A and B are shown apart, each in its own frame.
Chain A
């Protein structure tokens, strides 16, 4: 059964870099059938997609965050990581990692997330 687990510091100072890791078990992160993604949720608010990548090299980022975000992969540990630079209080959120699935139809594609990790709260203060 596929499981994802986020880890990293729960407290980050303003202007510094937020770094999180997602450890995947039950499937290989090198699979070309999936992407792997990050989503965040500020306290009491809705979901915001951060970005996703595939082992084949494709990467998608939320345009509103792209300038500050980097997603990388460590296949030897079956992990992928998130870095957000120059954080402010507005980056305080629960950060989730998830498997990002996709399909093709006609000239388009569709994408969704399943399953999700349990999430980790990062506070910028």
Chain B
């Protein structure tokens, strides 16, 4: 079965750039999606189709996908961005989620 691998945790200082990776076999041949989940809340879509931002998502959120790795980038990270982030893709009629990355803003 297809797997997506994320680092368990990433730390960033306020105002700096945070990068969260998601690795999977030939992931660049698929579309990647990213969700943000704050404690006690439901996941919220922050990036779809590799690079697109839904309405209401700040411009500091961006995405890329090439080769075996998709990356979620948060520029000018703010304290409010501290959350768990999950990548997701579709493979052979199955939804696959990455294990999640806890972003800490120190």
Contact = CB atoms under 8 A, between A and B. Distances in A.
Interface of A: 37, 39, 46-49, 52, 60, 62-63, 96, 103, 105, 108-119
The 5 closest A-B pairs by CB, nearest first: A49-B95, A110-B31, A116-B42, A114-B45, A112-B33
Given A46-B99, A46-B100, A112-B88, A60 B43 contact: no
A10 to B, nearest CB: 16
A52 B89 CA distance: 15
13 contacts: A46-B99, A47-B86, A47-B88, A60-B94, A63-B94, A96-B42, A108-B30, A111-B95, A112-B33, A113-B35, A113-B88, A114-B48, A115-B42
A49 B90 CA distance: 11
What range describes how many residues of B lie at the interface?
20 to 34
A107 to B, nearest CB: 11
Given A47-B86, A110-B30, A60 B42 contact: no
- Main DSSP-derived SS at the B contact region: strand
Interface string B38-82: 000011110011000010000000000000000000000000000
A48 B4 CA distance: 12
Contact of A49 (B54, B94, B100): B94
A74 B22 CA distance: 37
A48 B97 contact: yes
Contacts of A63: 1, 94
Contacts of A112: 33, 45, 48, 88
Contacts of B94: 49, 60, 62-63
A109 B42 contact: no
A117 B97 contact: no
Contact of B54 (A37, A109, A114, A116): A114
